[in-house]
């Protein structure tokens, strides 16, 4: 079973899910993070992500970069909801004989502090198999700046925008050093207000992730290949939209949008129209790219 198929199963089984203790589930499975509301009306954004050796980083990657990415992936999810991270917990399954656990958790604590979500707890285990990869899990909670901003609010006529540049993240090593767009997301919320209708972070590629946004919103996203902002060395729209691990923001908004936010460029790459899926127009041809990108 592919990841996308399993996720669809989870979303279907989770319809109508309820929390206990008077908490309300505002957003359940199917977005960048869950959103809960307390009995007193406080809103909490919660996300969790894994980092697996051999899948998300190569064996031998520097401990600091492993720790950084483990925290940054979940911080990026909070940013995509228009939120500000507040605290984190972390777990690790260590291979037998792993001798750098102290350094690993020191660096995870460092990066969690950099992004304003100190580590407040976690769990640790050692696997019996020497072939078991180092596996980290980071849960982060946050609070919305306004909203939250979900994947499901895009409207026909909205512009489709991305922050930064796309493509080549794995080959260049940028997937280990990216900056989660927390400040940029907060800036967009502040500048656009209610005109910011939907947002997602680009972890699996613009094609697949914009397709997810389109599906959640019940619309069609049309992308202009010629408008895509690409990193130097990224040769075509297919790579820009399909490489994944960009961790930029893709958002849909009404009306005027600034050319940059917090010093990071913003590019209009498309339009929201009636229909379904995500398509790109390149050299006069249209391609369905809803499944273009990373899928386990």
Name residue 34's beta-bridge partners: 46
Using DSSP bridges, classify how beta strands 83-94 and 119-126 pair: parallel, antiparallel or unpaired. Answer: parallel
CATH topology of domain 159-288: Phosphoribosyl-aminoimidazole Synthetase; Chain A, domain 2 (3.90.650)
Q: What are phi and psi of 137, to 5 degrees?
A: -130, 130
Q: How far apart are CA 202 and CA 92, in angstroms?
A: 25
pLDDT of residue 296: 54
In the chain, where the domains are located? 3-144, 159-288
Interval 245-285: pLDDT, tens: 999 999 999 999 999 999 999 999 999 999 999 999 999 99
- Judged against a pLDDT cut of 60, whether residue 11 lies above it is answered with no
**What is the rounded radius of gyration, in angstroms, for the C-alpha atoms of the chain?**
19
Max intra-chain CA distance, the chain: 57
pLDDT of residue 9: 45
Q: What is the mean pLDDT of residues 28-45?
A: 94
Angle at 203 between CA 173 and CA 241, to 5 degrees: 85
Q: What is the mean pLDDT of residues 121-140?
A: 91
pTM: 0.92
Does the structural domain 3-144 have CATH classification 1.20.1530.20?
A: no
Helix ranges restricted to H, 51-205: 63-80, 101-114, 169-172, 182-192
């Amino acid at each position: 079973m592919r990841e996308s198929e399993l996720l669809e199963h989870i979303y279907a089984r989770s319809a109508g899910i309820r929390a206990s203790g008077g908490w309300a589930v505002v957003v359940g499975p199917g977005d960048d993070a869950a959103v809960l509301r307390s009995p007193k009306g406080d809103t909490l954004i919660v996300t969790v992500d894994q980092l697996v050796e051999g899948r998300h980083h190569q064996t031998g990657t520097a401990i600091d970069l492993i720790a950084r990415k483990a925290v940054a992936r979940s911080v990026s999810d909070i940013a995509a909801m228009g939120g500000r991270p507040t605290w984190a917990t972390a777990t690790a399954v260590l291979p037998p004989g792993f001798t750098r656990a102290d350094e690993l958790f020191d660096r995870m604590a460092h990066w969690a502090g950099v992004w304003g979500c100190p580590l407040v707890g976690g769990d640790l285990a050692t696997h019996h198999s020497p072939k078991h990869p180092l596996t980290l899990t980071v849960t982060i909670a946050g609070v919305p700046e306004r909203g939250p901003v979900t994947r499901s609010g895009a409207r026909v006529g909205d512009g489709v925008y991305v922050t930064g540049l796309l493509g080549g993240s794995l080959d260049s090593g940028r997937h280990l050093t990216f900056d989660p767009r927390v400040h940029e997301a907060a800036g967009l919320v502040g500048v656009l207000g209610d005109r910011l209708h939907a947002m997602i972070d680009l972890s699996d590629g613009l094609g697949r992730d914009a397709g997810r946004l389109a599906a959640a919103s019940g619309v069609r996203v049309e992308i202009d290949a010629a408008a895509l902002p690409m990193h130097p060395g990224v040769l075509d729209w297919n790579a820009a939209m399909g490489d994944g691990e960009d961790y930029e923001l893709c958002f849909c908004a009404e009306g005027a949008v600034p050319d940059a936010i917090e010093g990071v460029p913003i590019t209009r790459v498309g339009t929201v129209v009636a229909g379904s899926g995500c398509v790109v127009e390149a050299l006069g041809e249209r391609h369905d790219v809803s499944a273009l990108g990373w899928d386990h």
